[in-house]
Amino acid sequence: MDKAKRIILLGATGSIGSNTLEIIQRFPEDFQLVGISAHKKCQALAQIAETFQVPSIALSDESAYQSAVEAKIFSKDSKLYGGDQALHQLIEETQADILVVAIVGTHALSPTLKAIEKGFDIALANKELLVLGGSFVTQAIQEKQVRLLPIDSEHNAIFQCLHGNNTKDLKSIILTASGGACRDTPIDQLQDITPHQAKQHPNWSMGAKITIDSATMANKGLEIIEARWLFDLEPHQIKVTLHPESIVHSFVQWIDGSVLAQLSPPSMTFAIQHCLFYPDKRANPKPSIDFDESFSLNFAPPDLKRYPCLELAYQALKQEPYGGAIYNAANEIAVQRFVAEEIRFTDIPKIIEHTLNNIQTPNTHTLASLLKIDQDTRDFAQQLDPKKL
């Protein structure tokens, strides 16, 4: 690489954010962090800004921004953006080569579209934004001819397996799923799972929302929709297999019967590093798979009674162009209500299903109508009484 790649990292204080910082710190000659964001954690963000000497900083929560300004916790040499429009402004006013999208939820849609418009490559961890606005993002990517590099481990695996092959010969992709925190809980006891139990992932260390989504497999549902947009697939070409070891990150199956897989230990640094250096590769100090040891890998079809959110994702795909938006927003509200102990673990798929079946959608498909459906879904899912469903 001739000169350092300039990176903007949205969600610097989160799980993907800190893995990304670890890589940037390991390769100071290759990367320059020119912008960072967090929602509320201003002290942690100030620490990152100081360590990496970051010139542009965004705090998307208005009150966190106000307190940070009052307490003067950021150096006056850096530019500070705050509130609802902070991420958009940060992108608009900062020059970079790549945007790493590592925030949760759909707030990244407008800043990501802005970054594409400015010609930045996108390294995307956030799946919600493709599930919501996949058609707009992929269209903008094609128009601007920038790279969309998937960090989500399954999609990163597929991206690597497709490399150098002719996608017209693709039969299907097979996403692997660990099964999440409740994979061994008897089905009749799932209704009593607490938020604390749902947050204990057997293999991966991740943020709270995605860990609960792994337990319901709404995460795999979101990934099915994400894959549809990333790789332009028909629903029947996207399959899921239960793989408790989380070593194979996904498979690609060709029409001639051969199957390719990508393997690495369950750490997101492999996928993030792949995206940051793409198309080059660098050594990773994390232990890789050791073929001098014996080990076995297991695969099984998922039980749809245990994971109803999986089947609902295929229903959402049939309800394009708004099915993904409804699935995502209904799930987000249901997870919030589960964490607040208003509803049970097993009410999450009920809320998604009822919402998918009842939200009215318009015939037009614009960014404005998409955002309206997103809001309508949230309002609808918020007031549903699962006992009546």
Residues in contact with ligand NAD by the rule CB under 6 A = 11-17, 38-39, 41, 60, 102-105, 107, 125-128, 152, 204, 206-207, 210, 268
**Contact stretch for Mg ion (CB under 5 A) within 36-44, 100-108, 144-152, 378-386:** 144-152
Measured from the CB atom, the residue of 88 and 127 that comes closer to Mg ion is 127
Residue given tokens 């198309």 in the structure block: 279
Structure tokens at 367: 């960014």
Kind of pairing between the strands at 98-101 and 121-124: parallel
Cis peptide before 279 (omega within 30 of 0): yes
C-beta closer to ligand NAD: residue 16 or 335: 16
Nearest to 83 by CA among 113, 104, 101, 59: 59
Q: Which is nearer to ligand NAD, 49 or 210 (CB)?
A: 210
The C-alpha atoms of residue 281 and residue 71 are separated, in whole angstroms, by: 42
Which listed option, Mg ion, ligand NAD, none, makes contact with residue 102 (CB within 5 to 8 Å by class)? ligand NAD
Q: Which is nearer to ligand NAD, 150 or 308 (CB)?
A: 150
Q: Encoding tokens for residue 98?
A: 């790549």
**CA-CA-CA-CA torsion for 354, 359, 360, 365, nearest 10 degrees?**
-130
Tell which positions 154-173 bind Mg ion, by CB under 5 A.
154
Interface pick for Mg ion out of 121, 152, 353, 374 (rule CB under 5 A): 152
CB of 81 vs Mg ion, minimal distance in Å: 30
- For tokens 């900062």, name the residue: 94
Q: How far is the CB of 254 from ligand NAD (least distance, A)?
A: 26
In the complex with ligand NAD, which residue's Cβ is closer, 109 or 170? 109
- By a kind-dependent CB cut-off of 5 to 8 A, residue 125 interacts, out of Mg ion, ligand NAD, none, with ligand NAD
Contact partner at residue 202 from Mg ion, ligand NAD, none, CB < 5 to 8 Å by partner kind = none
For residue 334, give both structure tokens: 């249901």
By C-beta, is 127 or 337 nearer to ligand NAD?
A: 127
Q: How far is the CB of 198 from ligand NAD (least distance, A)?
A: 14
Residue 61 or 152 with smaller CB distance to Mg ion? 152
Task: For residue 226, state whether it binds Mg ion (rule: CB under 5 A).
Answer: no
State in angstroms the smallest separation of the CB of 127 from ligand NAD. 5
The span of 71-79, 137-145, 153-161, 353-361 binding Mg ion (CB under 5 A) equals 153-161
Residue 137 or 206: the one with the smaller Cβ distance to ligand NAD is 206
Instruction: Kindly state the smallest distance separating residue 242's Cβ from ligand NAD, in Å.
Output: 18
| Interface segment toward Mg ion; rule CB under 5 A; list 26-34, 64-72, 150-158, 339-347 | 150-158
Name 366's Cβ contacts closer than 8 Å, sequence gap at least 6: none
Question: Of ligand NAD, Mg ion, none, which one sits near residue 103, judging by CB under 5 to 8 A according to partner kind?
Answer: ligand NAD
Measured between alpha carbons, how far is 10 from 14 in angstroms, rounded to an integer?
A: 9
State which residue has the least CB distance to ligand NAD: 14
In the region spanning residues 238 to 257, those forming contacts with Mg ion, defined by CB under 5 A, are none
Shortest CB 246 distance to Mg ion, Å: 10
91: helix, coil or strand? helix
- What is the helix (H) or strand (E) element at residue 32, kind and residue range? strand 31-38
- Using CA atoms, how far residue 111 sits from 30, 246, 365, in Å, is 24, 32, 20
On whether the CB atoms of residues 32 and 94 are closer than 8 A, the answer is: no
CA 384 – CA 2 distance, rounded (Å): 56
Which residue, 268 or 384, has its beta carbon nearer to Mg ion? Answer: 268
Q: How many CA atoms lie within 13 A of 136 on its CB side?
A: 24
Q: Which is nearer to ligand NAD, 272 or 373 (CB)?
A: 272
Min separation Cβ 161 and ligand NAD, Å: 18
**How would you write 216-260 as a 3-class SS string?**
HCHHHHHHHHHHHHHHCCCHHHEEEEECCCCCEEEEEEECCCCEE
Burial of 228 (0-12, 13-18, 19+ CB in 10 A): buried
Q: Cβ of residue 358: shortest distance to ligand NAD, in angstroms?
A: 26
Helix-, strand-, coil-residue percentages of the chain, each rounded to 5 = 50, 15, 35
Number of other residues whose CB lies within 10 A of the CB of residue 24: 22
Q: Which residues bind Mg ion (CB under 5 A)?
A: 152-154
